[in-house]
Amino acid sequence: MKIACVGAGPAGLYFSLLLKLRQPQHEITVYERSAPGVTRGWGVVFWNDLLDQLRSADPESAEQIAQAAFPWSNEIVDVAGTPILHGVSQGYGMKRRQLLEILVRRAQEVGVRVEFNHEVTSASQLPEADLIVASDGVNSQLRQEAKGIETDVRPGTNKYIWLGTEKVFSTFTFPFVETGSGWVWAHAYGVDAGSSTFIVECGQETWAGLGFGTMPPAECLAALEKIFAAQLEGQGLIGQTADGLNAQWVDFRTISNERWYDGKVVLIGDSAHTTHFSVGSGTRLAIEDAIALAGSVQRHDEVSAALAAYQRERQEAILRTQIASRYSSQWFENVPRYIGLTPKQFSSLMRRRRSPLMPHISPQLYYWSWPTTREPPFVDTLRRLAGPVAAKVFGLLQRSHRS
């Protein structure tokens, strides 16, 4: 088959390299709009579950990723200078750029053609192909021209900006700082021995009140460095990517699609679905999509059968993470509801932010009913039951809204 992938992010690269590795007879080309080594966004986190999947899919690239991954352990929730340490989690951080470099090298090594500086805004610009993989991310242009996909886009109410810093956070840190216009907080984690990701988030009113909407980038970085001076310990924030572009304040958009393919065009990774950065799962889901799509293409002779099976498998598999993402992003959108608790209570509830019950009862009552970080078993049962039911109700509502 001739296969064209638009977008050299984790989804497109991993799909291409896996399929080529297993079925070298395919001719696979990845088209990427940026130059080699240029990527937007800093680092991402992941856990051992992703490394296990990578090891069983392609041990070679998995080993390189494992070697380059920066381990962090535990979490600190710091409310106005009172840090509460939670010693339970262990994960890894990695610069997006480094992850993509490993995947590009491996894809080229197994025979995938990667064409950089090649933007594709319509499938009609591609040479004849039997399968077109829309791995062009959250703003996918191929998705926008696909028919019958029924995309749902839900903008969040907070603003965030994806920055870096040379301060190394070897513990995942969430500093919450009160300003004259409201609370501002960050999600900070190390990505290598010399730098960290530093995502700053706040409500719209706080963002407008602090003047971030009209502030030039350098001034904005200086203001944020001042707000987070205690946590940054003298290090600055980095807002510019390798291609000289400045990081922008944006609204997180939750994307979902009723169908993931139209004819021979198939959605994968962020073009098919997004999950809020506070659940740290988008890269894992993109890689899992890639593994599932490569497997399905291998198993089926007909492209249409392969895409139908892929859609069935992945739409069901991501449901739990999508629901967790919704609760988690809503929790951060409602920080003022929780911030009056003591730092210990606040941090405890923050760690349980995926609970479907918490938004519906008073935070104090929730905390005093279950003061430990362990969730009551019935909440987990509810979450599992609510998943498929919520998805059904959501689908019905969407359909009735459109008709």
Ligand X SMILES: Cc1cc2nc3c(=O)[nH]c(=O)nc-3n(C[C@H](O)[C@H](O)[C@H](O)COP(=O)(O)OP(=O)(O)OC[C@H]3O[C@@H](n4cnc5c(N)ncnc54)[C@H](O)[C@@H]3O)c2cc1C
The residues binding ligand X (CB under 6 A) are 6-12, 31-34, 41, 44-46, 119-121, 135-137, 141, 162, 199, 269-270, 277, 280-284, 286
d(CA 168, CA 43): 12
The strand pair at 113-115 and 70-79 is best described as unpaired
Return the number of the residue (188 or 306) whose C-beta is nearest ligand X. Answer: 188
Return the number of the residue (55 or 344) whose C-beta is nearest ligand X. Answer: 55
Least CB distance to ligand X at residue 139 (A): 7
CB 249 within 8 A of CB 217: no
Least CB distance to ligand X at residue 42 (A): 8
d(CA 313, CA 98): 29
Return the number of the residue (277 or 367) whose C-beta is nearest ligand X. Answer: 277
Least CB distance to ligand X at residue 104 (A): 10
Least CB distance to ligand X at residue 16 (A): 11
Least CB distance to ligand X at residue 203 (A): 17
Return the number of the residue (200 or 341) whose C-beta is nearest ligand X. Answer: 200
Whether the CA torsion 269, 274, 276, 281 is positive or negative: it is negative
Residue type, 45: V
Least CB distance to ligand X at residue 98 (A): 13
The strand pair at 43-46 and 158-165 is best described as unpaired
d(CA 128, CA 66): 37
Return the number of the residue (138 or 341) whose C-beta is nearest ligand X. Answer: 138
d(CA 151, CA 110): 34
Least CB distance to ligand X at residue 280 (A): 4
Least CB distance to ligand X at residue 340 (A): 27
Return the number of the residue (32 or 75) whose C-beta is nearest ligand X. Answer: 32
Least CB distance to ligand X at residue 131 (A): 17
Distance, C-alpha 84 to centroid of its chain: 26
Return the number of the residue (18 or 45) whose C-beta is nearest ligand X. Answer: 45
The Cβ-side half-sphere exposure at 100, using a 13 Å CA radius, reads 25
Return the number of the residue (7 or 190) whose C-beta is nearest ligand X. Answer: 7
Task: Give the list of residues 6+ apart from residue 309 with CB closer than 8 angstroms, or none.
Answer: 296, 299, 300
Return the number of the residue (284 or 352) whose C-beta is nearest ligand X. Answer: 284
Q: Among 275, 317, 277, 276, which Cα is nearest to 293's?
A: 317
Distance, C-alpha 56 to centroid of its chain: 22
Whether the CA torsion 165, 167, 171, 176 is positive or negative: it is negative
Task: Give the list of residues 6+ apart from residue 37 with CB closer than 8 angstroms, or none.
Answer: 97, 101, 242
Whether the CA torsion 94, 95, 96, 97 is positive or negative: it is negative
Q: Among 101, 90, 96, 14, which Cα is nearest to 49's?
A: 90
